[in-house]
Amino acid sequence: MQHRRFVLLGLGGVIALIVAMTLVGLDQNLTYYLYPTEAVDRRAEFPDGERFRLAGIVVEGTLQRGEIHRFEVSDGGATIPVRLHNNPPPLFDEGVPVLLDGSWSGAVFDASEALIRHSENYEIPDRGGTGPGS
């Protein structure tokens, strides 16, 4: 019976460890989603290098393609200049709603990844995709 108690203790330990890892992992992997207006308002909370996701529309006439893609995103309120250091997703263009993953660098948003936001429930996400509908 000593043996069983030992095993049960081990099992309890494994459960506790996984629950703890879950809760700690949550906080580390939490990403904030902000619109340009919010990002500007809450600039102090997100210092340079602090990652968050910026959602907005690529402003017409601002897209300059190149090694680094430069454009502006807006939500109708604030407009933020963006540098995208990666390939844009398929069909990325001016006027398209995007979600950018990156951080502030002065007055510019440095994005490491961009994805197009589709309407309704079905989004094409970054390297992770969307799921089965319904």
Partner 1 sequence: MLSLLGTLGLLSALLGSVLLTWRGWLAATGHTDRGLAPAARLVLAGAAVAMGAMQLALITDDFSLAYVANHHASTTPFPFNVATAWAALEGSIILWGLVLAGFTWMMLRRHSRSPDRLGAAALAVMGAVAVFFFALMLTVANPFEVCTEAIANGCAASSPWPFAAVQAPLEGRGPNPLLQNHLLMAIHPPMLYLGYVGMTVPFAYAIGALALGLPGVDWLRRSHRSTVVAWSFLTVGIVLGGWWAYEVLSWGGYWAWDPVENASLMPWLVATAFLHSALVQRRRGMLQAWNFVLVISVFALTILGTFLTRSGTIQSVHSFTQSAIGPVLLGFLLVVVVGSFALFSARAHLVGSTPRIDHLVSREGSFLANNLLLTLYAFVVLTGTTYPLVVEAFSGARVGVGAPFFNRLAVPLSFALLLMMGLGPVLPWRLAPPRLLWLRTRGPAVIALAAGLLTALTVTRIGWVILTVVLGVFVLACSSGVLAEQARRQPGRHEGRLRATLEVIRSDRGFWGGQLSHAGVVLVALGIAFAANLGAHAEAVMSPGDTVVFAGHTFIYESPFQRSAPGKSTSGARLTVTEDGSFRATLEPSANYFGADPTGVSTPDALHLPGGDIYVTMLRLDAAGVTLVFDTSPLIWLIWLGGGVVAGGGAIAMTGRRAGTMAPARQTADV
Q: Give the footprint of partner 1 on this chain (CB under 8 A).
A: 4, 7, 11, 14-15, 18-19, 21-23, 25-26, 28-34, 53, 87-92, 95-97, 116, 118-122, 124-134
Q: Which is nearer to partner 1, 29 or 106 (CB)?
A: 29
- What letter would DSSP give residue 24? H
CA distances, 112 to each of 50, 117, 121 (Å): 13, 16, 24
Shortest CB 1 distance to partner 1, Å: 11
CA distances, 54 to each of 14, 51, 81, 110, 134 (Å): 38, 10, 11, 10, 27
Shortest CB 43 distance to partner 1, Å: 15
Q: Which is nearer to partner 1, 96 or 108 (CB)?
A: 96
Shortest CB 63 distance to partner 1, Å: 12
d(CA 77, CA 109): 16
Q: Which is nearer to partner 1, 7 or 106 (CB)?
A: 7
d(CA 31, CA 19): 20
Shortest CB 72 distance to partner 1, Å: 18
